[in-house]
Amino acid sequence: MPESAPLSRFAPVSPLSGFTLVEVLAVLAIVAVLAGLAMPGFGRTLERYRLRAAEEGLRSALYTARSEAIRRGGGVTLRRASGGGCTPASEQDWSCGWTLFADTDGNGRHDPGEALIQAWPAPRGVQATVSVAAPSTYLNLNRSGRFHNLGAFRFTLRPERSSDDKAARVMCMSSAGRLQTLQGTDRC
């Protein structure tokens, strides 16, 4: 009769194998130092991403507003959002997001029965302000896709937690509808 196979084919575990507590603590200390060095750079990268996302959302809103005004023959309004736990600090503060709707009566408010074209949520971590001749919570568009009774205006987007003007983005729109984005708080 053949002999039976051994129960384990592996070598017995030596009592000296594995990591010591000192080795584990040394590795954790190195990882903590590297993470500490990387975090400020990651924060700035996240800040730039949020600004870029807010800029693209606003650019999309402005272009959509113009094309909808042309398509509908005017009567379109781009208005800053409020409510939902977000309270704008001033008439120029658009940090709560914005909505685009068919404004059939031209009063600048989204009334019952007026079609909501699109809504953009609040840009997270970004402060958005608009500068026009007279501070306003809304911008009306006429049938040619131009912002009614406005010359040039600008939106300023800046990180909420940064006072560095170089981090801000300024979106300038001419009275003819040309949109230009500048880095920093340069005037249009």
Nearest in space to 128 (alpha carbons), one of 178, 78, 74, 70: 78
Model pLDDT, residue 9: 64
For 71-85, write each residue's pLDDT tens digit: 999 889 998 887 777
Q: Is it the case that residue 4 has pLDDT exceeding 70? A: no
For 52-61, write each residue's pLDDT tens digit: 888 898 889 9
Model pLDDT, residue 122: 82
More confident residue, 144 or 149: 144
pTM score, two decimals? 0.72
140-147 average pLDDT score: 86
Residue by residue, what is the 3-state secondary structure of the chain?
CCCCCCCCCCCCCCCCCCCCHHHHHHHHHHHHHHHHHHHHHHHHHHHHHHHHHHHHHHHHHHHHHHHHHHHHCCCEEEEECCECCECCCCCCECCCCEEEEECCCCCCCCCCCCCEEEEECCCCCEEEEEECCCCCCEEEECCCCCECCCCCEEEEEEECCCCCHHHCEEEEECCCCCEEEEECCCCC
Q: Is it the case that residue 8 has pLDDT exceeding 70? A: no
For 95-123, write each residue's pLDDT tens digit: 888 899 999 888 888 899 999 999 988 88
Average pLDDT for the chain: 81
Distance CA 130, CA 154 (A): 6
Q: Is it the case that residue 132 has pLDDT exceeding 80? A: no
Q: Is it the case that residue 187 has pLDDT exceeding 80? A: no
164-171 average pLDDT score: 77
